[in-house]
Amino acid sequence: MPAEKSQETGREGVFRAKQYLESTTHLRLPWTAYDHESMCKRQRLDGSKKVYDLSGHFLGQRRHPLFVEAKKYSVVGGQGGMYTEYLADIYSVTARACQNDMDDEAEFMWVTWHPFSQNNWAKLTHHDYVRDAVKEHAQRLKLPESAGDVQIDDELCRLVSNRLWLLVLSDRQHELVLSPEELKLAMMHLKREGA
Amino acid sequence: MPGNSLQDAVAAALNSSNQTDVIEGIKGAVISEIELLDPCAEITNTDYFNHSYAPDLVLSWAGDRQVREVYLRYNLRSAQAARDVDLLGGSAPVFFSLDSRHDDVSVAADFRGEFEAESGALVTNAPAIDGFTVEQDTPDTGSVSEPLLSLFRRNVVRGGRGLLISGTAQRLQATPPAGDVEADLAYLAGFEETITEIFRPEAATRLQRAADIVRAARTGDTRLFEQRADLDDNRRLIGGKLELDELRILLPYLLDRANALESDAFWRYIGGMISLKQLEQLAETITLEDLNRLVVANLGEWRAARALVSFSPEAVEQERPAPSWTVQAKMLAATAGAWRVSFTADKRKGGSRDDQMLVRWEDVWPNLSTSSLSSVDLQGMTRRVRVSAEDGSNVFADVDTISSTINDDFRVRSLTLHPTDEESSDLELNFKTMTVEGRNAILGDLAFAAFDVLGWRYPLSEDERAQILGAPVPAGPGIDVPEPPEAVQPPIPQLPRFDGSESGGE
**DSSP letter string, B55-86:** -SEEEEETTEEEEEEEEEES-HHHHHHTTHHH
Which of B94, B169, B80, B85 lies closest to B125, judged by CA? B94
Determine contact: A168 vs chain B, CB below 8 A: no
In this structure, of B30-39, B341-350, B461-470, the range with the lowest mean pLDDT score is B341-350
Determine how β-strand B122-125 pairs with β-strand B94-97.
Answer: parallel
**If contacts are CB pairs under 8 Å, which of residues 53-72 in chain A contact chain B?**
none
Each residue's pLDDT tens digit, B77-87 = 889 889 999 89
CA closest to A38 among chain B residues: B17
Helical spans, DSSP H, in A100-192: 127-136, 138-141, 154-162, 180-190
Instruction: Measure the N-to-C terminal CA separation of chain B; round to a whole number of Å.
Output: 82
Residues B27, B57: Cα–Cα separation, whole Å: 8
Q: What angle do CA B430, B451, B370 make, to 5 degrees?
A: 70
Instruction: Out of A18, A36, A181, name the one closest to residue B52 (CB).
Output: A18
For the cut 50, the answer to whether the pLDDT of residue B499 exceeds it is no
Distance from CA of B6 to the nearest CA of A (A): 18
Residues of B491-506 as b/e, b for ≥16 C-beta within 10 angstroms? Answer: beeeebebeeeeebbe
According to the 3-state scheme, what is the secondary structure of B433-480?
Answer: CCEEEEEEEEHHHHHHHHHHHHCCCCCCCHHHHHHHHCCCCCCCCCCC
Determine contact: A30 vs chain B, CB below 8 A: yes
Q: What is the pLDDT of residue B205?
A: 92
Query: 3-state class of B11 per DSSP?
Result: helix
Average pLDDT over residues B96-108: 73
Give helix then strand counts, H and E, for chain A: 6, 9
Mutate to test the interface with B, among A7, A14, A27, A39 (most CBs of B within 10 A): A39
Instruction: Measure the N-to-C terminal CA separation of chain A; round to a whole number of Å.
Output: 38
Instruction: Out of B19, B82, B90, name the one closest to residue A15 (CB).
Output: B82
pLDDT lower than 50: segments of chain A: none
Give helix then strand counts, H and E, for chain B: 19, 15
Q: Which amino acid is at B120?
A: G
Residues B441, B436: Cα–Cα separation, whole Å: 10
Which of A75, A71, A69, A89 lies closest to A142, judged by CA? A89
For the cut 50, the answer to whether the pLDDT of residue B485 exceeds it is no
Chain A residues close to B17, C-beta within 8 Å:
38
Residues B447, B151: Cα–Cα separation, whole Å: 34
Distance from CA of A26 to the nearest CA of B (A): 12
Mutate to test the interface with A, among B52, B58, B72, B114 (most CBs of A within 10 A): B52
Each residue's pLDDT tens digit, B413-472 = 999 999 988 888 999 999 999 999 999 999 999 999 999 999 999 999 999 999 999 864
For the cut 90, the answer to whether the pLDDT of residue B312 exceeds it is no
Tell me, what DSSP letter sits at residue B168? T
Phi, psi of A69 (to 5 degrees): -110, 120
Q: Angle of helix A154-162 relative to helix A127-136, nearest 10 degrees?
A: 120
Distance from CA of A3 to the nearest CA of B (A): 16
Q: How many CB atoms lie within 10 A of CB A159?
A: 20
Instruction: Out of A19, A39, A183, name the one closest to residue B82 (CB).
Output: A19
Determine contact: A28 vs chain B, CB below 8 A: yes
Q: Do A181 and B87 touch (CB under 8 A)?
A: no
Q: Which amino acid is at A175?
A: E
Q: Do A15 and B50 touch (CB under 8 A)?
A: no
Chain B residues close to A15, C-beta within 8 Å:
52, 78, 81-83
Residues B463, B247: Cα–Cα separation, whole Å: 30
For the cut 50, the answer to whether the pLDDT of residue B69 exceeds it is yes
Name residue B324's beta-bridge partners: B335
Mutate to test the interface with B, among A6, A7, A9, A18 (most CBs of B within 10 A): A18
Q: Are B100 and B126 in contact (CB under 8 A)?
A: yes
Q: What angle do CA B172, B178, B183 make, to 5 degrees?
A: 50
- Residues making up chain A, counted from first to last: 195
Instruction: Out of B14, B52, B78, name the one closest to residue A34 (CB).
Output: B78
Distance from CA of B96 to the nearest CA of A (A): 14
Each residue's pLDDT tens digit, A124-171 = 999 999 999 999 999 998 888 777 788 899 999 999 999 999 999 999
pTM of the predicted model as reported, rounded to 2 decimal places: 0.80
